[in-house]
Amino acid sequence: MIEGIGGYFELELPKREEFHKDALRLNSGKNCLEYILRVRKYKKVYIPYYTCEVVLKPFQKLGTVYQFYHINLQFEITEEINLGEGEALLYTNYYGLKQQYVEHLVDRYGKSLIVDNTQAFYAKPLEGIDTFYTCRKFFGVSDGAYLYTDAAPIEGLKQSVSYNRMEHLIKRIDLSPTEGFKDFHKNDYRLSEDEIMLMSRFTQRVMESIDYVGVAKKRRMNYMQLHDYLKSSNLLNLSMGIEAVPMVYPYLALVEGLRERLIENKIFVARYWPNVLDWTTKDDIEYLLAYQMQPLPVDQRYGEEEIKKIVEIIHS
């Protein structure tokens, strides 16, 4: 549909094809999960201790019962979970590296499995399995998520807008990442409180402009370079599958102050996730991961020079 010809110019975004063009487009990963809980009406869902606290919001909002489970250093479930009628299991495809294990869980739990692919944008959805993705962990957008489900749709959803969420992205270019950090967290909070809405037209347009093949190639290359340098000191042994496209390089070494040293040298590593330190004890694997694991950047903005700088800081 032609909205107009002429007038002022829009942003110069190339026109390609969305990676998840057949999915339902929503405004956030949290709301994808809420959508699933609404349409499936589960009585109880098993969720990992090692997850973001925002995951709890849909459960608390809808009154859906949840129960935590533990994982090991391979990010695989340590407990024997037998699902009853009306129950489901939520599993996170950690860092985009656990697709083979996801397939194993599908064999075990079938359609009672919910796959959280917010860290695994490139992982393929499995037929009939409720699966959701988020855009912000892989690309420079302020919101947006994709959901695959064969459940009856929720009708009448409003469309989100993004023009008033862009401040942190613009400040990062115009000023610095530090100058935009407060706005980044402000946007995080706003998204966590938003109701279920359709993805904004702006975010969809940006997602149509991305060179997905090029991004995947860069991420895989950076991951392999970091692994070559750090595998001997990394307590985690996560292999990258043939088709895997990682979100970060998870590096676990028992070195006090490493996170602070990286940040002091302007290598910004997040903590996944501070809330886990309150949910678990020091004897739990999840506590160790939240406290000591460094998610090292491997994304498409960087190359060999940045990878070598990360390695130098760690080895110093």
Joined tokens for residue 292: 């000591």
| Phi, psi dihedrals of residue 229, rounded to the nearest 5° | -80, -35
Q: Worst-scoring range by mean pLDDT, 10-14, 16-20, 56-60, 63-67?
A: 10-14
List helix spans (H) across 141-284. 167-174, 177-193, 201-207, 212-230, 258-264, 274-279
Q: How far is CA 254 from the centre of its chain?
A: 25
Domain with CATH 3.40.640 in the chain: 24-207
Average pLDDT, the chain: 95
User: Does pLDDT of 94 surpass 80?
Assistant: yes
Provide DSSP, 176-209.
-HHHHHHHHHHHHHHHHHPPP-BPPHHHHHHHTS
CATH number attached to the domain at 212-315: 3.90.1150.10
Say whether pLDDT at 157 is over 90: yes
- CATH classification (class only), 24-207: alpha beta
Interval 187-216: pLDDT, tens:
888 888 899 999 999 999 999 999 999 999
Every domain range in the chain assigned CATH 3.90.1150.10: 212-315
What local confidence, expressed as pLDDT, does residue 186 receive?
86
Per-residue pLDDT tens for 25-81? 999 999 999 999 999 999 999 999 999 999 999 999 999 999 999 999 999 999 999
pLDDT number for residue 308: 96
On whether the CB atoms of residues 89 and 45 are closer than 8 A, the answer is: yes
* Residue 239: per-residue pLDDT: 85
pLDDT of residue 3: 67
For 67, phi and psi rounded to 5 degrees? -140, 135
